[in-house]
């Protein structure tokens, strides 16, 4: 049965999706591990959908720039921002959404729309800027076609990831789960769940359990390292060091959930540092990049806990000694040329229809 096109109306639909921080357990999400992640209100992507005669994907005036002052301007722009904006992301999620609905007998009305987007998530900072655009667009499509109740919540991160895979983006489910659910989420990607359900088990947690945290990133990241390295292949080949280390990384999320529930901040400090140390052991310094390592070390020099928010580009920091320690961190970041700001936790974005889709 077709979903009622009258339900779309003429009003614009707009959704935000927030940047995310992988708090503990990353990158074990692509290795049948477990993670804890949360969304932050510091940065976000927004997508607007408006009904229109033709289906239009609008380029962003900055991120999809196609007019330049000169050849030098074009080259400098590409060297700084790369070749890709958000248009390809919007197209990819439209394709994946339509195909999913077709394959699952979810009938869509035939009204057209115009999609546009904006984002303030810094590029190359490991804060999931691309998937934020995709997940916000998916929310718009769910509402425009009135099918939010027909596509279950745990499935939606898979659609976001599938859209990115269309474009050759290598990633796991963790970021997409965090952005689809919002707030603080524990995720279990064990092979049993992935094989049986096609997705993990995702458990929202109270954001008030998190201690005050800070974010360190560089304004112009230039040393992102060769993030993906050969770790994936070594894991597939059964390399004992990688297999055991990745299992330990996933276990940190379990220990972290207990520490959060018990407000055991000294334990959290140990777990955060251990998470980065294990990543460094597996990937190596050349892969991680000197600037990324320095962001971690800046925090550790003043006794704070620190680790990557994702695969590099930004670092999440916990200062257990409070404001006095934060002041020391501010000074260290200033001397190193890094940006420091308090983390603003973004709460869950789920509505009643989303929660009902879990059933």
User: Which long-range contacts link 226-235 to residues 24+ away (Cβ below 8 Å)?
Assistant: 226/286, 226/287, 227/283, 227/287, 227/288, 227/311, 227/312, 228/170, 228/311, 229/283, 229/284, 229/287, 231/282, 231/283, 232/30, 235/31
- 3-state secondary structure at position 210: coil
187, containing H or E segment: strand 184-188
User: Which long-range contacts link 353-356 to residues 24+ away (Cβ below 8 Å)?
Assistant: 353/148, 353/149, 354/148, 354/153, 355/153, 356/149
- Strand pairing class (314-318; 305-308): antiparallel
| Residues 77, 78, 82: CA angle, nearest 5 degrees | 125
Q: CB neighbours (10 Å) of residue 232?
A: 14
Q: What are phi and psi of 26, to 5 degrees?
A: -75, 140
119, containing H or E segment: strand 112-119
Catalytic residue among 29, 175, 188, 354: 175
Torsion angle of the four alpha carbons 351, 354, 358, 359, in this order, in degrees rounded to the nearest 10: 90
Task: Give the number of C-alpha atoms closer than 13 A to the C-alpha of residue 84, restricted to the C-beta side.
Answer: 14
* Whether residue 354 lies in the annotated active site: no
Which residues are within 8 A (CB) of 145 and not within 5 positions of it... i.e. 6 or more apart? 3, 8, 101, 108, 109
Which residues are within 8 A (CB) of 146 and not within 5 positions of it... i.e. 6 or more apart? 3, 4, 7, 8
| Residues 95, 101, 106: CA angle, nearest 5 degrees | 150
Strand order across the beta sheet in which 305-308 lies: 305-308, 314-318, 214-217, 339-342
Instruction: Give the active site residues.
Output: 175
């Amino acid at each position: 049965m077709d979903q009622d096109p009258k339900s779309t109306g003429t009003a614009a639909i707009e959704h935000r999706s927030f940047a995310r921080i992988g708090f503990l357990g990353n990158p074990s999400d692509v290795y049948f591990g477990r993670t804890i992640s949360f969304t932050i209100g510091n940065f976000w992507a927004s997508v607007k959908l408006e009904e229109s005669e033709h289906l239009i994907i609008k380029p962003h005036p900055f991120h999809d720039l196609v007019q330049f002052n000169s050849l030098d301007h074009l080259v400098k722009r590409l060297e700084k921002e790369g070749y890709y904006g958000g248009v390809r992301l919007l197209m990819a999620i439209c394709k994946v959404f339509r195909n999913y609905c077709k394959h699952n007998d979810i009938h869509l009305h035939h009204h057209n729309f115009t999609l546009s987007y904006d984002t303030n998530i810094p590029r190359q900072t490991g804060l999931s800027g691309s998937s934020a655009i995709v997940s916000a667009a998916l929310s718009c499509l769910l509402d425009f076609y009135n099918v939010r109740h027909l596509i279950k919540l745990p499935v939606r991160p898979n659609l976001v990831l599938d859209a990115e895979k269309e474009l050759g983006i290598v990633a796991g489910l963790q970021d997409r789960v965090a952005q689809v659910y919002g707030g603080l989420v524990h995720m279990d990607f064990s092979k049993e769940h992935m094989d049986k359900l096609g997705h993990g088990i995702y458990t929202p947690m109270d954001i008030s359990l998190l201690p005050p945290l800070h974010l360190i990133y560089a304004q112009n990241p230039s040393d992102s390292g060769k993030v993906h390295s050969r770790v994936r292949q070594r894991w597939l080949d059964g390399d004992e060091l990688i297999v055991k280390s990745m299992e330990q990384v996933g276990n940190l999320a379990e220990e972290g959930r207990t520490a959060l529930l018990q407000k055991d901040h000294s334990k959290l400090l140990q777990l955060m540092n251990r998470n980065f140390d294990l990543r460094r052991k597996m990937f190596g310094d050349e892969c991680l990049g000197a600037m990324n390592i320095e962001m971690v070390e800046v925090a550790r020099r003043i006794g704070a806990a620190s680790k990557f928010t994702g695969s590099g580009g930004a670092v999440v920091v916990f200062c257990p000694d409070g404001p006095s320690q934060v002041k020391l961190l501010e000074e260290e970041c200033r001397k190193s040329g890094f940006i420091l700001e308090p983390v603003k936790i973004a709460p869950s974005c789920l509505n009643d229809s989303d929660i009902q889709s879990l059933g």
